[in-house]
Amino acid sequence: MQKLTLTQSLGQRLSPQQIQFIKLLQVPTAELDSRIEEELEINPALEEGKDEPDTLEDEYGEEESSKDDEIDIDDYLQDDDYADYKTRGDSGGQEEEREMPIAMSTTLNDQLMTQLGYLGLDERQEKIGKQLIGSIEGDGYIRRELDAIVNDLAFSQNVMTDVDELEDILMKIQDFDPAGIAARNLQECLLLQLERKIDQTDAVQLATRIVDECFDEFTKKHYDKITKKLDVEDEELFKEAIQTITKLNPKPGGAGSGLVRTQYLMPDFIINEQNGELVLSLNSRNAPDLRVSSSYAEMLKAYDKSDKKDKKLKETVGFVKQKLDSAKWFIDAIKQRQLTLLNTMNAIMEYQYDFFQEGDESKLRPMILKDIAEKIDMDISTVSRVANSKAVQTDFGIYPLKFFFSEGIATESGEDVSSREVKNSLREIIEKEDKSKPLSDDKLEKLLKEKGYQIARRTVAKYREQLNIPVARLRKEL
């Protein structure tokens, strides 16, 4: 039996202004110009240039409170708080779709398809070749089983083939550039590159034998087993062969797997030392000159005083006020963004004052998001958005804000030090170790404890992995 019931619930809901602010807060300085340009294109009531407060308040502010006997603007905008932020252009017509221009570049797939055309294959073989190329992943490997590709061709292309024919065309594709492309595993990828070497020296030939016959031992760096198995007596030749292998590209598709984009690290903040004091400033690109269009404010004023009461006028009034509200909200959100960025960075600067004065990483204090959030009386999520994609320029270089956040490690004296300091000590120990007898995690733990860091072996392993340093066995060198 169905029945209708009425229930009450209490919940939180973000206002359009809060949504606007959150989106702008996480935009880095390098992308802010594009975001502002996008808003300028969307909203004709928003203009570049310094604000004229008298004009804005007299014309736009006055319209908020002025009411015509026949036309009450607010009557037409009962739900305008959600316009332009939930669904852009709800009251102003459909938004025009625009394509953002990007720099032209050739993808890996395009390069391979061009080379496929040079083989002179018939239509059927070309379909097989295209299917194989389409199965190549971004790093340059084909990991899909050939049996599965045979089925793909049968069902999607109506091309009946077998693994032997597929492998024959695959071998032709494996001759394409870049060398090692379309390999099915790392071993095959390395062999393809070794076979393509013009100078087949003794070192290259030995390298080929190592990869072909002792690949498992090579990946584990069991060099003694390799020399014994291959009966290698020339130590210098063996070293040269190993170096030849390590210089090969394990991801041949990496350089051409997508559009080539150049990224720049643009600082959002600048910290300089002046007369012994640290001075924080915001990158000027974070403070654009924006204002509400005075012509739109005048237009709203003229419509409000008009004697016309037709439907089109009401729609026009609604559209104009929506754009004015949107422009004002955007300007307020930009200003709030600037204030939040400065407050957050100022708290970080004060917390890590010693580092910003000297640039010594050992001076970094343990600091987590909660520390800064409590200091500026804001939510942790707000601090996270600021720290996630922002950077600061100092006298010692440019640092991402995430660099300054780290957990604390206890010392023998009972004080906390930054985990970054421990990682630096760990890196120094490993750099100075005897590479023929690299240190295990247990030995690293003991050495760190000798330096006063109370740290567990599993924590040593975690920090080593975060530093992209392999285990002792894989650090061994001849």
64 and 187 inside one domain: no
Structure-model confidence comparison of residues 46 and 63, the more confident one: 46
Please check the confidence at residue 64 and state whether its pLDDT lies above 70.
Answer: no
Instruction: Point out the least confidently predicted range of 81-85, 110-114, 253-257, 333-337.
Output: 81-85
Q: Is residue 379 part of a domain?
A: yes
**DSSP annotation string for 210-246:** HHHHSHHHHHTT-HHHHHHHHT---HHHHHHHHHHHH
- CA–CA gap between residue 138 and residue 112 (Å, rounded): 13
Best-predicted range by mean pLDDT (38-52, 178-192, 443-457) = 178-192
What's the CA gap between 155 and 196, in Å, rounded? 35
- Give the integer Cα–Cα distance in Å for 113 and 118: 9
Query: What would the pLDDT profile of 406-440 be if each residue is shown by its tens digit?
Result: 765 655 555 556 677 788 888 888 888 888 888 88
- Torsion sign (Cα): 57, 58, 63, 69: positive
What distance in Å separates the CA atoms of residue 453 and residue 450, rounded to the nearest whole number?
A: 7
**Contact 208/194 with Cβ under 8 angstroms?**
yes
pLDDT digits (tens, 9 = 90+) for 353-384: 988 888 887 778 888 888 899 998 988 888 88
Q: Do 381 and 415 have their domain in common?
A: no
pLDDT tier for residue 305 given thresholds of 50, 70 and 90: low
Question: Same structural domain for residues 299 and 336?
Answer: no
Enter the tokens of residue 84: 């332009």
How many beta carbons lie within 10 A of that of residue 182, not counting itself? 24
Output the domain CATH number for residue 422: 1.10.10.60
Paired tokens of 20: 């606007």
Residue 457 included in any domain: yes
Token code pair at residue 149? 């590709």
| 160 plus 232 within the same structural domain | yes
Sign for the CA dihedral angle at 291, 19, 401, 399 comes to negative
DSSP per-residue codes, 77-124: -TTTTSBTTTBTTSSS-PPPP-PPP------HHHHHHHHHHTT---HH
Residue 192: give the domain boundaries.
Answer: 108-246
More confident residue, 319 or 51: 319
Residue 386 domain-assigned (yes or no): yes
Q: Does residue 337 share a domain with residue 325? A: no
Residues 124 and 240 in one domain: yes
Mean pLDDT, residues 204-218 taken together: 91
Do residue 359 and residue 324 come from a single domain?
A: no
- The set of long-range contacts for 343-347, using a CB threshold of 8 Å and a minimum separation of 24, is 343/376, 343/378, 344/372, 344/376, 344/378, 344/382, 344/383, 344/386, 344/387, 345/268, 345/269, 345/280, 345/386, 345/390, 345/392, 345/401, 346/280, 347/372, 347/375, 347/376
Residue 373 included in any domain: yes
- 210 and 138 part of one domain: yes
351 lies in the same domain as 224: no
| Residue 252 belongs to some domain of the structure | no
Please state the rounded mean pLDDT for residues 38-52. Answer: 79
Contact 399, 358 (CB under 8 A): no
Residues 37, 38, 43, 47, Cα dihedral to 10°: -10
- Write the CB contacts of 263 (distance below 8 Å, at least 6 apart in sequence): none
**pLDDT category of residue 87 using cuts at 50, 70 and 90:** very low
Largest distance between two CA atoms of the chain: 104
Same domain for 379 and 297: no
Number of domain units in the chain: 4
Instruction: Write down the H helix ranges in 352-477.
Output: 353-358, 369-376, 380-388, 419-432, 441-450, 457-466, 472-475
Instruction: Centre a 10 Å sphere on the Cβ of residue 390 and count the other Cβ atoms it contains.
Output: 24
**449 and 340 in a common domain:** no
> What separation, in Å, do the N-terminal and C-terminal C-alpha atoms of the chain show?
80
The residue from 361, 386, 404 where one domain ends is 404
Report the SS3 class of residue 432.
Answer: helix
The enclosing H or E element of 190 equals helix 186-195
Instruction: Tell me, yes or no, if the pTM score tops 0.75.
Output: no
In a domain, 10, yes or no: no
Q: Does 339 fall in a domain?
A: yes
Q: Could you tell me if 206 and 318 lie in one domain?
A: no
* Residue 276 counted as domain residue: no
C-alpha separations of 30 from 23, 38, 264, 292, 453 in Å: 15, 14, 8, 24, 39
The secondary structure of 237-261 as a DSSP string is: HHHHHHHHHHTS-S-TTTTSSS---
Among residues 219, 246, 273, which one ends one of the domains?
246
